[in-house]
């Protein structure tokens, strides 16, 4: 829906997911594969070419390696290439929060611009969109069936 409202064709889209330590993937955690698959399915649904769609991971801390590619380093590299604009979506977040609004829309936008890039446009989460609320409500109702009070 966010892309449909745009009056232009996005130059590059980054789908960024919350990261986690690389060792979890190595120990068999499916999260990385689920993120990559989700990103691919969204890209295919939107009809975006592979060349204009990137999947990255954000919010790392500590000294251990985290899932890569890192969102901030990717945006820095794109900025150094002089990319005029980039659109960023966070498909793993149902609603906007500190990580999407501050870390992506502010901090990472600054990294992109300082590296020589143009505008970073954050595509907001589904938040209170009626279809999203109905889907979450339906999911909760189905999952709660059979629970006793």
- At residue 86, the pLDDT reads 95
Q: Which residues of the chain have pLDDT under 70?
A: 1-4, 148-149
Distance of CA 97 to the CA centre of its chain: 13
pLDDT tens, position by position, 36-64: 999 999 999 988 999 999 999 999 989 99
Quote the Cα angle for 122-126-132, to 5°.
170
């Amino acid at each position: 829906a966010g892309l449909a409202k745009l009056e232009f064709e996005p130059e590059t889209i980054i789908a960024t997911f919350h990261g986690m330590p690389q060792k979890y993937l190595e120990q068999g955690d499916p999260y990385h594969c689920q993120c990559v698959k989700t990103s691919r399915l969204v890209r295919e649904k939107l009809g975006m070419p592979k060349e204009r769609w990137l999947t990255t991971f954000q919010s790392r801390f500590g000294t251990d390696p985290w899932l890569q590619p890192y969102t901030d380093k990717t945006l820095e590299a794109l900025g150094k290439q002089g990319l005029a604009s980039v659109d960023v979506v966070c498909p793993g977040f149902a609603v906007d929060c500190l990580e999407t609004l501050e870390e992506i829309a502010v901090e990472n936008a600054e990294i992109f611009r300082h590296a020589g890039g143009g505008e970073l446009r954050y595509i907001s989460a589904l938040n209170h969109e009626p279809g999203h609320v109905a889907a979450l409500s339906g999911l909760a109702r189905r999952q709660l069936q059979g629970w006793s009070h």
